Amino acid sequence: MTSSLLLMNPALSWTDPEATAALRFKVKPFCPPAGACYWARRWRSPISAMIPNIHLPMRSLEVKNRTSVDDIKSLRLITAVKTPYLPDGRFDLEAYDSLIHMQIINGAEGVIVGGTTGEGHLMSWDEHIMLIGHTVNCFGTSIRVIGNTGSNSTGEAIHATEQGFAVGMHAALHINPYYGKTSLEGMVSHFEAVLSMGPTIIYNVPSRTGQDIPPSVIRTISQNPNMAGVKECMGNDRIKGYVDKGIVIWSGNDDECHDSRWAFGATGVVSVASNLVPGLMHELMFQGKNPSLNSKLMPLIKWLFQEPNPVGLNTALAQLGVIRPVFRLPYVPLPRARRLEFVRIVKSLGRENFIGEKDVEFLDDDDFILVGRY
């Protein structure tokens, strides 16, 4: 004790006998009453750490301005809507509102906000929730708003979904944890953590997540009353298997959606192409088998997906003049040859079938703005 005090106070010296003597005193050890401190002698794991889901979801039981699970299950044409930008990379809400208006008047029943096509992965969560709330406030009585509040972090998915439903979205879209993949049991737990909050569509796209959501997982979580269905990208055989078991399915592939709907029992499609030709996609989903129209749309659909979505869609909407030619990196426009090809596709399919009123035009490289800081 004496030496430590001296070390802390250099003014005192071992050669100063009076100072040293003054510091020499006996320290009595602290002794609490018998039994008073027993808990500190033997550490025990907190009981709360062993209770799953101690943090209950922030949900309200009040009647909300949103649709039921059954209403979500009935949607046939859902557009994964594009998010347009201003030259500085912020949202172009005027152009966005125009895109939503064109979806409504052409018969789309729902929109995915901030999905892969809407570049939700390039947004902050503040931007993401704001855009969901904006869509609900402006269009929620005319079209079903499905917010992509999924994440590979269960905690983020829970928080974003709580916020999404709080601002009025009608349903949530949830993906399985990507990159940091989990076990099948972990996948079930992830989905169960968010299903309690409201109507939910599960999205299976292994080409992006690196992990398939197998039928065993879907069958398990389909018992939850908030499970609306699955956006399935693994083909029509998988879709048929789910439909036979009474699970609602939307095709996630524009090139397969006609057969998915009319030959394999899918309820409809979550479409990228409907951003461009919503009227034709509505006809494809509502008017019965139409192999002729389906074949007519194939050149456009194949063109859209030559590069990872939404590269083709962003390029096409800019060439149609309905959005500014602004890209948030890492997305960049399709090369010149592909842009020229799009002009030919529009003329072949008929400009009147596409959204917007301006003539389709070829845009040069210098016409595009690439934003890296947003």
Which CATH number goes with the domain that contains 208?
3.20.20.70
pLDDT band at 158 (very low <50, low <70, confident <90, very high): very high
Task: Return the number of other C-beta atoms located less than 10 Å from residue 73's C-beta.
Answer: 18
Q: Among 117, 37, 51, 44, which residue's Cα sits nearest to residue 79?
A: 117
pLDDT band at residue 8 using 50, 70 and 90 as cut-offs: very low
Residue 24 falls inside a structural domain = no
Q: Which amino acid, one-letter code, is at 344?
A: R
* 3 state SS of 154: helix
Residue 35 counted as domain residue: no
- Residues 62-75 have a mean pLDDT of 81
What confidence tier does 67 reach under pLDDT thresholds 50, 70, 90? confident
Residue 198 domain boundaries: 69-287
3-state secondary structure of 214: coil
Cβ atoms within 10 A of the Cβ of 119, count? 17
Report if residue 79 sits inside a domain: yes
Contacts 24+ apart (CB under 8 A), 165-169: 165/59, 165/64, 165/66, 165/197, 165/198, 166/58, 167/129, 167/132, 167/133, 167/136, 168/64, 168/65, 168/66, 168/133, 168/136, 168/137, 168/140, 169/66, 169/113, 169/132, 169/136, 169/145
Evaluate if residue 4 carries a pLDDT over 50.
no
Active site residue 203: yes
Copy the structure tokens of residue 164: 């999404």
Distance (Å, rounded) from C-alpha 359 to C-alpha 319? 9
Q: What is the mean pLDDT of residues 90-110?
A: 98
Q: What is the pLDDT of residue 14?
A: 46
Instruction: Report yes or no: 117 and 275 within 8 Å, Cβ to Cβ.
Output: yes
- pLDDT tens for 75-92 read 999 999 999 999 999 999
Task: Note the pLDDT of residue 5.
Answer: 43
Q: Which residue has the tokens 């859209």?
A: 304
Per annotation, catalytic residue among 231, 331, 358, 374: 231
- As given in the structure block, the two tokens for residue 319 are 């060439």
Residue 58 is assigned to a structural domain of this protein:
no
Active site residue 179: no
- Does the residue 338 lie in any domain? no
Please, what is the angle between helix 291-304 and helix 336-349, to 10°? Answer: 160
For residue 39, pLDDT over 70 is answered with: no
The average pLDDT across 203-207 equals 97
Whether residue 2 is predicted with pLDDT greater than 50 in this model: the reply is no
In whole angstroms, what is the distance from residue 265 CA to residue 261 CA? 5
- Identified catalytic residue from 85, 96, 203, 242: 203
d(CA 293, CA 42): 75
15's CB contacts (< 8 A; 6+ apart) are none
pLDDT mean across residues, the chain: 90
The answer to the question of residue 93 being in a domain is yes
User: Quick one: what percent of the chain has pLDDT higher than 70?
Assistant: 82
120 within domain boundaries: yes
Which tops the pLDDT comparison, 61 or 47? Answer: 61
User: 286-333: per-residue pLDDT in tens?
Assistant: 999 999 999 999 999 999 999 999 999 999 999 999 999 999 999 999
Residue pLDDT, tens place only, 206-259: 999 999 999 999 999 999 999 999 999 999 999 999 999 999 999 999 999 999
Tell me, what's the pLDDT at 59?
A: 67
Q: Are residues 183 and 151 in contact, defined by beta-carbon separation less than 8 angstroms?
A: no
Give the confidence band of 260 by pLDDT, cuts at 50, 70, 90: very high
Confidence band for 44, pLDDT divided at 50, 70 and 90: low
pLDDT surpassing 90 at residue 48: no
- Provide the Cα torsion 74, 80, 84, 88; round to 10°: 120
- Name the domain count of the chain: 1
Higher pLDDT, 362 or 11: 362
**Is residue 304 in a domain?**
no
What is the three-class DSSP state of 91?
strand
Res. 57 pLDDT band, cuts 50 70 90: low
